Amino acid sequence: MHCDPDFELFIYGDPTAKRNYLLKLDKEDLLVFYAGLTPYQNNKQKEGLYIIGFLTVNAVIDFNKLSPIETKKYCDLYPSYAHFRRSYTTDLVVVIGDRQRSKLLNKAISISESGFDSIGRPCQIVSKKMENLLGISGAIQRSIPPRFIKCEINISNLKELLGITP
């Protein structure tokens, strides 16, 4: 087990099929993370999926395209990052967030409600409120495929939701 995203270093990496989606990110894009959360000793919140933080992309690095010297440079720059500590860089794509404009949220933001997937199994789906704000819909229990928000009004709504000011 390891922390990924790492909100102390503001870095996230993945060597699996998600790598192909990470390669589509550009500088200044937002990479938003959500997690399944269950209330602990209270009934005020509900179990569901919540936005927990985001990275404002500073760089996207495909380690398959780096020389051994360049790979070592990043490993030395972020020696405590889990993928680098294990020397696992094959197929790895790493997103480095802008430290000043990336954040682990103090309070998670609910984005889901109970629903059903395409074959009728119970799962978490995008809530109607978030569907209207962000322009995404459907089951989001798993992160593949990730959702890309491209419409400017939806991006603006997301930034407001995250507390990002222009």
Per-residue pLDDT tens over the stretch 52-85: 999 999 999 999 999 999 999 999 999 999 888 8
Confidence of residue 2 (pLDDT cuts 50, 70, 90): low
Q: Residue 161: which of 69, 149, 8, 24 has the closest Cα? A: 149
pTM: 0.91
Q: What is the DSSP letter of 15?
A: -
Domain-located, residue 1: no
Q: What is the pLDDT of residues 114-125, one digit of tens each?
A: 998 888 888 899
Give the C-alpha separation, 25 to 46, whole Å. 32
Q: Residue 63: which of 3, 5, 15, 2 has the closest Cα? A: 15
| Range in 34-43, 52-61, 155-164 the model is least confident about | 34-43
Domain-located, residue 32: yes
Domain-located, residue 5: no
- Give percent of the chain with pLDDT exceeding 70: 97
Q: Can you give the residue range of the structural domain that contains 23?
A: 11-162
Domain-located, residue 138: yes
How many domains are there within the chain?
1
Give the C-alpha separation, 25 to 49, whole Å. 23
Domain-located, residue 4: no
pLDDT higher than 80, residue 140: yes
